[in-house]
């Protein structure tokens, strides 16, 4: 479901998305309203996470950010990833998942429709941004260890 929502959002903004073979290690690229996704990604879930990150570049990045030795490019990469985390894993959905019975990272990732690696990266980013916890809809969401306190 999230993948189709991302495709619809891209289409709404005139962004084309193509799957094509890419060299190993490259999962996706964005440039000038075009997103390329590596067609060899193993799961639909991983494609969803990569499309979200590449759309994050549309919203947050300017110019070529491939050279990650430059501080300004690393900052733009972080902004694009943060956009993707907030798009696919807003804090309120983590709370909702726990309320519906998700009790570990695997179940949480399944509920959210993301990979465990993407979830772990998002949680780390949220720890950087909020500290060890955040209050969401009257619940305390702890990031380390991951859990919900009423």
pLDDT at 64: 76
| Half-sphere exposure (Cβ direction) of 91: Cα atoms closer than 13 Å | 21
Class level of CATH domain 1-88: mainly alpha
How confident is the model at residue 100, as a pLDDT?
95
**Nearest CA-CA partner of 89 in 60, 52, 61, 58:** 52
Dmax (CA) of the chain: 47
Q: What is the pLDDT of residues 124-135, one digit of tens each?
A: 999 999 999 999
Q: What is the pLDDT of residues 67-108, one digit of tens each?
A: 688 877 788 889 999 999 999 999 999 999 999 999 899 999
The residues spanned by each domain of the chain are 1-88, 92-150
* Reported pTM: 0.93
The residue among 88, 29, 108, 101 whose CA lies nearest residue 61 is: 29
Q: Coil, strand, or helix at residue 96?
A: helix
Residue 126, token pair as written in the block: 């949220």
């Amino acid at each position: 479901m999230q993948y189709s929502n991302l495709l619809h959002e891209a289409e709404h903004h005139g962004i084309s998305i193509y799957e094509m073979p890419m060299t190993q290690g490259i999962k996706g690229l964005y440039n000038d309203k075009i997103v390329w996704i590596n067609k060899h990604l193993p799961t639909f879930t991983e494609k969803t996470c990569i499309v979200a990150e590449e759309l994050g570049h549309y919203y947050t990045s300017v110019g070529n950010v491939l050279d990650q030795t430059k501080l300004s490019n690393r900052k733009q990469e972080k902004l694009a990833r943060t956009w993707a985390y907030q798009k696919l894993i807003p804090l309120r959905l983590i709370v909702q998942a726990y309320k519906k019975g998700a009790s570990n990272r695997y179940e949480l990732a399944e509920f959210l429709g993301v990979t465990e690696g993407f979830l772990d990266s998002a949680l780390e980013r949220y720890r950087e941004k909020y500290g060890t916890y955040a209050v969401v809809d009257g619940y305390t969401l702890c990031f380390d260890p991951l859990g919900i306190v009423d």
